[in-house]
Structure 1
Amino acid sequence: MYSIKSVKEIQDLNPFIVVGCGGGGEKFSNLEGVETVGFIDDNVKKQGKEFCGYIVAGSLDESLKHAKNAKSLVIMLPIGAEGSALKYAVQAIDAGLNVITSFRSLSITENISLKKFADAKGVVIKDIGPRLDVVKTIAGVAPKKSCEVLPKISYESKAPVIFVGGTSQECGKRTTTKKLGIASMKRGLTPAIISTDEMGLEEPTDFNFRAGSLSAMDVPAAVLSAIKYAEETKQPDIIFIEGQSSLTEKGNPHPRGLSAAILIGAAPDAVIVGHRPNHPYREPRGIEEEIRAIEAVEPTKVVGLSINLKNADLDLCPEFFESKYNLPAEDVYNNGADKLLDAIFEYLGE
């Protein structure tokens, strides 16, 4: 109802002042036929500096002094800045400017009073939405609104972060993560163990959440927030994060993006890869492919293999994988994770 469906609708409202000097603001100003006459940002470090050929202002009043011909304001702020977005929308409408807002900045459908205010002032207010109507057309179903809700977060962990990935689903990632935590505790360390699955309920896991219930954009923020929370509440010596699915598994491509998102959020110092030979109902491409994919997605290193021998031939053993891939390998179900923990510490140089 209020969503922009073509660039022509935007061009008709030229020229624009843009709120938000980031990727969204630059992207908007580069749209075909869009005329930009000024930029605003609440970040004082950006104010007074040049952005896309204009000096960044700190308020709408300041920007209008230099852009008196502006007819519209576009708000391109990230999730979490709804308060600022609402402030600018009200100021712009009150000043007689049309308003375009990103759905991440401010949802018009959830702020109908803004539409009534704009109507009263004789100006237009619309949003650049996620086009869930298109999703419904092509897929037959769609959420009623965008499920991207977490604000962006930037955080660098103090303790080393270890990601436990795998070549497929149900290959032993959760057990490996748990066993690494137990091995750390036996050595007098304080680990933080984060499960990204609703089934991560077993001790010594500190907390769990289902990463698959979040949007792909929110997963890295959730993982990074979990790391930050763990450090603030526990001051761990080392952090273990359970991955989900696989980057390379065949036959079930849907969760692969989830695996990448968790890995990216973890930004791990080192990685352990789980593998289940002769998996009865999954189609892993294999260890070599998964290692190559992980190290391509993140600047990290796979330092060990956790081998799940539930369905393996009787003569298969971790030593076979050690010789084949030149990495420490262990059956954590029967032998624990001490060898893998040794590999992690050796790589970290501790």
Structure 2
Amino acid sequence: MEETALIYCEGHFTDLDGKTANGLIRHSKKYKIVGVIDSHFSGMDSGMILDGKKNKKLIYFDLTEAVTQLGKVPNCFIFGLAPKEAFLSIAERRVILDAMDMGMNIIIGLHEFITEDEEFIQASQKNHVRIEDIRKPKPKKYLNLYTGDIRQVKIPKIGVFGTDCAVGKRTTALLLADAFEARGLKVLFIGSGQTALIQGEKYGVAMDAMTSEFMTGEFEHVILEGVRREKPDIILIEGQSAMSHPAFISTCAIIRGSMPDAIILQHPPKRKFRVDFSEFLMPEVEEEIKLLESYSKVPVLAITLNHEKMSIDEINETIGNYEQDYAITTTDPLVFGCDKLIDVIINQFPKLLEKKLE
């Protein structure tokens, strides 16, 4: 049975630190989202604020207002923030404990594992609620080392990578998955972060919480399991951070573990500096393409835009400029859909036509 869930995103809904909440509002297979907590947008429709389309999921001032107006305590309280800080603030701890006192299960994807915190352990036992630390890896004895068996997978594997954190890699990959499925293909989506797992995606690994020795093997393993069970026509892989980002290594492990056959590059043209690293300039698109192609030995087939701070005219102008400058198909999937991406992928992998695409 689908559980109802309230998302906590105080002060950050629609922005970069609120990417988990943003993703859940757009897409959730596991939970029925009933609202968002962010006092800055209290009383407004979350879909209208995020994408300009009403979804009837309201934003509430605080936890008390949300439960009062909903008329019923939701099953789950999802911590929808993904900040750079590793630990919960005092205010965030308090609201989570309040949610537990109301009888809500806690879903959280931070690097701080609250299943190891005595105060939260006692609260969960007292209130008979569960805590899910989405990023918490399995014990090492259950983790997988790299085998190289991924080389035997002949199904097209498309990686959606980016030029920074929080640029929309997962969103583009999921939109593309929906578009291919609408045309009759069976898609295997492989998540690589906590948001995809919270959204209810069946296959994935929270890569940035994994011990480095097991990163490549765990990612390879989840793809092999998905192929064995689902027998897909195409595999779509969510990237993490950026190949060029000095603070993260996830992309390296994802490429090694998945051995993609082609890449889509997601980029926010208006972003000047890396998320949470104001001293680091964003890379040039051409530099990131060269880096990805050199490391993976496969082509970047398309550029997809994150249109933050862009008008529709700027989006169209940028698409034209990029296609001329880089000779690579470019689009904005949230604005224009995925038809151009599907065309360029089919052109690269013509056997997909045998799957009777409409």
Distance 1:222 1:321, change over 3 A: same
Report the 3-state secondary structure (helix = DSSP H, G, I; strand = E; otherwise coil) of the residue aligned with 1:206: coil
Aligned counterpart for 1:177 among listed residues 173, 176, 179 = 173
Report the 3-state secondary structure (helix = DSSP H, G, I; strand = E; otherwise coil) of the residue aligned with 2:195: coil
Aligned counterpart for 2:202 among listed residues 189, 203, 206 = 206
Distance 1:151 1:201, change over 3 A: closer
- The answer for the alignment partner of 2:155 in structure 1 is 159
**Is the radius of gyration larger for structure 1 or structure 2?**
1
Deviations 1:178-223 (A, max 9, x none): 0110111011000000110000147684333211111223111111
Deviation at 1:287, TM superposition (A): 1.2
Conserved? CA contact 2:159–2:238, under 8 Å? yes
Deviation at 1:258, TM superposition (A): 1.4
- The answer for the alignment partner of 1:188 in structure 2 is 184
The residue type paired with residue 289 of structure 2 is I
C-alpha separation in 2, matches of 1:181 and 1:319: 25
318-327 or 263-272, which moves further after superposition?
A: 318-327
The residue type paired with residue 223 of structure 1 is F
Aligned residues: 202
Aligned counterpart for 1:242 among listed residues 225, 238, 245 = 238
- The answer for the alignment partner of 1:336 in structure 2 is 337
- The answer for the alignment partner of 1:44 in structure 2 is none
User: Would you say 1:301 and 2:299 are equivalent positions?
Assistant: yes
RMSD (CA atoms): 2.3
Query: Which stretches in structure 2 are left out of the alignment for 5+ residues?
Result: 1-138, 275-280, 352-358
Deviation at 1:248, TM superposition (A): 1.6
Distance 1:260 1:203, change over 3 A: same
Report the 3-state secondary structure (helix = DSSP H, G, I; strand = E; otherwise coil) of the residue aligned with 1:217: helix
- The answer for the alignment partner of 1:57 in structure 2 is none
The residue type paired with residue 190 of structure 1 is K
C-alpha separation in 2, matches of 1:196 and 1:169: 12
Conserved? CA contact 2:146–2:218, under 8 Å? no
C-alpha separation in 2, matches of 1:314 and 1:190: 33
C-alpha separation in 2, matches of 1:332 and 1:160: 20
Deviation at 1:280, TM superposition (A): 6.3
- The answer for the alignment partner of 1:150 in structure 2 is 144
- The answer for the alignment partner of 1:254 in structure 2 is 247
The residue type paired with residue 330 of structure 1 is T
Give the % identical residues.
28
User: Would you say 1:288 and 2:267 are equivalent positions?
Assistant: no
Conserved? CA contact 2:190–2:236, under 8 Å? yes
Conserved? CA contact 2:216–2:253, under 8 Å? yes
- The answer for the alignment partner of 1:263 in structure 2 is 255
Query: Which stretches in structure 1 are left out of the alignment for 5+ residues?
Result: 1-144
Conserved? CA contact 2:273–2:282, under 8 Å? no
C-alpha separation in 2, matches of 1:200 and 1:166: 16
Instruction: Give the TM-score normalised by the residue count of structure 1.
Output: 0.54
User: Would you say 1:272 and 2:291 are equivalent positions?
Assistant: no
Distance 1:202 1:210, change over 3 A: closer
Distance 1:299 1:310, change over 3 A: same
Equivalences for 1:60-209 in 2 at 5 Å? 149-155=143-149, 156-201=152-197, 205-209=201-205
- The answer for the alignment partner of 1:63 in structure 2 is none
C-alpha separation in 1, matches of 2:314 and 2:188: 32
Distance 1:215 1:309, change over 3 A: same
Distance 1:293 1:182, change over 3 A: same
The residue type paired with residue 336 of structure 1 is G
Report the 3-state secondary structure (helix = DSSP H, G, I; strand = E; otherwise coil) of the residue aligned with 1:345: helix
Distance 1:148 1:319, change over 3 A: farther
Report the 3-state secondary structure (helix = DSSP H, G, I; strand = E; otherwise coil) of the residue aligned with 1:168: coil
- The answer for the alignment partner of 1:316 in structure 2 is 314
Structure that is richer in helix per residue? 2
Report the 3-state secondary structure (helix = DSSP H, G, I; strand = E; otherwise coil) of the residue aligned with 2:167: coil
Deviations 1:47-77 (A, max 9, x none): xxxxxxxxxxxxxxxxxxxxxxxxxxxxxxx
Deviations 1:303-328 (A, max 9, x none): 00111112235532222221221111
Instruction: Give the TM-score normalised by the residue count of structure 2.
Output: 0.53
Distance 1:301 1:150, change over 3 A: same
Report the 3-state secondary structure (helix = DSSP H, G, I; strand = E; otherwise coil) of the residue aligned with 2:313: coil
Report the 3-state secondary structure (helix = DSSP H, G, I; strand = E; otherwise coil) of the residue aligned with 1:274: strand
Deviations 1:123-149 (A, max 9, x none): xxxxxxxxxxxxxxxxxxxxxx99995
160-169 or 317-326, which moves further after superposition?
A: 317-326
Distance 1:189 1:305, change over 3 A: same
